[in-house]
Structure 1
Amino acid sequence: MMIIFGYLYFIYYIGPHYMIGRSPYKLKTLMLLYNFIQILANLWMVQEHISFGWFSKYGVLCSEPFPHSPNTLKMFNSIWWLFVLKIFDLTETCIFVLRKKQDQVSTLHVYHHVSIIFFAWIYLKYILDERVLLISLFNCVIHVIMYVYYFVSAWGPKYQQMISFLKPVLTKIQMVQFIAMIIYGLQIFNPACQVQEKFHSVIAVFFIGNVLIFLYLFYDFYKKSYTTKAKKRIIKLNIKQLI
């Protein structure tokens, strides 16, 4: 809670006030390093998840047996490091503030980061069910793709222009990820799904609700960024042609 509070205090108060009257920092090297670390860390996490036995030993159906194995402790240790990585993700917003990109400190961006840390903490503190790790596998795969895009973009406007067509595709991929998470999570309501504790079912309901919020926010972002704006550009171009 102190980390989250400090994060919110910096991005909404200390950071913007500090930047008043100052030129935005470029931070190109820092952004490249940050994105490169994210690519390597998420690739490692994907490799770890696959080494646990996903898609070989373990299936995706909640009703299928998921026996404990010598990998169990390794799984939870890796997820602890993933939790640390999610805290490291907060660096991204601080970079936005120092570059005077306050418009990128959106409700979607901040809510996404804070809620993921909160649910990861709940999972490690109270749940530790191996079946949930398929969701973190989805997330790490998407983050590898996403940070490769950010890494290329950080080199400058020339490269941003070259891969600009991928921006709406990334948002669509993230929305597909959320839909997959919701479908996977809804299995908790299947009587054949063995739930360790009733408390876990309650957390699952809140988690699914949170993912639905993500889906709505990302869809709203997609609609405003790539649908409405695109239509306005077409109308403006047509008007110019008529004039």
Structure 2
Amino acid sequence: MLRDAVSNIIKLHTSLQMRTDARIRDFPLMQSPVQMTSILLAYVFFSVYVGPRLMANRKPFRLNIAMIVYNLSMVSLNAYLVYEFMMSGWGTTYTWRCDLIDTSNSPEALRMVNVAWWFYFSKYVELLDTVFFVLRKKQSQITFLHVFHHSFMPWCWWWGVTLTPVGGMGSFHAMVNSAVHVIMYFYYGLSAAGPRFQKYLWWKKYLTAIQLSQFILVSIHISQYYFMEKCDYQVPLWIHLIWMHGVFFFLLFSNFWIQAYIRGKRLPASEDKPKLNGSASEHITVVANGKHLENGNAHHHTNGKIVMGKVKEI
């Protein structure tokens, strides 16, 4: 029995290697699903169990400078991704309709392979969002939606770039996601910089709308496939999965919108207790990826327990 199981695993691994796009096969973290699955399982375990318990009896770290550097670095990385996606086809040769995958080794096709991997890798860098929350004892911000979104995206993209040659209309959602993250991380960077930047954050209420808009845009774009008279996209399964992904996350984020902005269940109440320096506590808002947008000095939980979607009433 054990021998058969091992044999089947080896066959699956060999099959994956044979099906993997040869142009991306030798990139880091692309050799086996075991590597990326292990990293993501460790991330979830740290987020919901190890991290909160390690910080339970410790004071929260003040990481404002690190957060500013991190967020602005993510702005630069995502801006680079948008530019490379545009130069790899979306701003040059693609029609924005039935764009097939270029499986050649042309400079443009290889550029698309490279930017697709960097997009995939950026999802691991984004796991630091949660690490900052844990170290600053912001457990209420580590919701189910936050953890699921951060772990599900890189896991799906590994299978996407492994089983599907990179490029074509299936890469549109990655470019849109990168563009949205330029805006979001720019906001987070300003927010972490302190109260002197609050006057520049008047547009915070539009962040959730921007996130919802990306899922609508991606779903509409990929839905063209079902209404075209003919589109010979090489891996139709990837089209179906992207459409389901867009609709699924639109529903999740819409539920967040309803809970946060209509029913008011996810917006923590502002407290009037003075801080040690005598200033009043500052307002916190939330966007749909489960992050509380703050200036770095908001209140935190001290019991070390993670709150997976549980929220305060106001």
Runs of 4+ in 1 over 6 A off after TM superposition: none
Would the alpha carbon gap of residues 211 and 66 (structure 1) be closer, same or farther in structure 2, given more than 3 Å must change? closer
Structure 2 CA distance, aligned partners of 1:158 and 1:229?
27
TM-score (norm 2): 0.67
Number of aligned residue pairs: give it: 226
Structure 2 CA distance, aligned partners of 1:65 and 1:113?
28
TM-score (norm 1): 0.85
Secondary structure, counterpart of 2:57 in structure 1: coil
**Correspondence for 1:212:** 247
The structure number with the bigger radius of gyration is 2
Deviation at 1:154, TM superposition (A): 0.5
Would the alpha carbon gap of residues 54 and 204 (structure 1) be closer, same or farther in structure 2, given more than 3 Å must change? closer
Deviation at 1:221, TM superposition (A): 1.6
Note the residue ranges of structure 2 that are not aligned, 5 or more in a row: 1-36, 268-314
Deviation at 1:59, TM superposition (A): 1.2
Secondary structure, counterpart of 1:138 in structure 2: helix
Secondary structure, counterpart of 1:26 in structure 2: coil
Give the root-mean-square deviation of aligned CA atoms. Answer: 2.1
**Correspondence for 1:107:** 144
Deviation at 1:66, TM superposition (A): 6.4
Would the alpha carbon gap of residues 141 and 44 (structure 1) be closer, same or farther in structure 2, given more than 3 Å must change? same
Answer whether contact 1:187 1:193 (CA < 8 A) is retained: no
Deviation at 1:227, TM superposition (A): 2.6
**Correspondence for 2:109:** 72
Structure 2 CA distance, aligned partners of 1:78 and 1:55?
14
- The more displaced of 219-228 and 35-44 is 219-228
- Matching residue's letter, 1:150: Y
- Matching residue's letter, 2:220: I
Structure 2 CA distance, aligned partners of 1:172 and 1:6?
31
**Correspondence for 2:48:** 12
**Correspondence for 2:260:** 225
- Residue number among 18, 21, 25 corresponding to 2:61 in the alignment: 25
Q: Quick one: percent identity of the two aligned structures?
A: 33
- Matching residue's letter, 1:23: K
Structure 2 CA distance, aligned partners of 1:66 and 1:211?
20
Deviation at 1:28, TM superposition (A): 0.8
Secondary structure, counterpart of 1:146 in structure 2: helix
Secondary structure, counterpart of 1:229 in structure 2: coil
Deviation at 1:10, TM superposition (A): 0.6
Would the alpha carbon gap of residues 115 and 71 (structure 1) be closer, same or farther in structure 2, given more than 3 Å must change? same
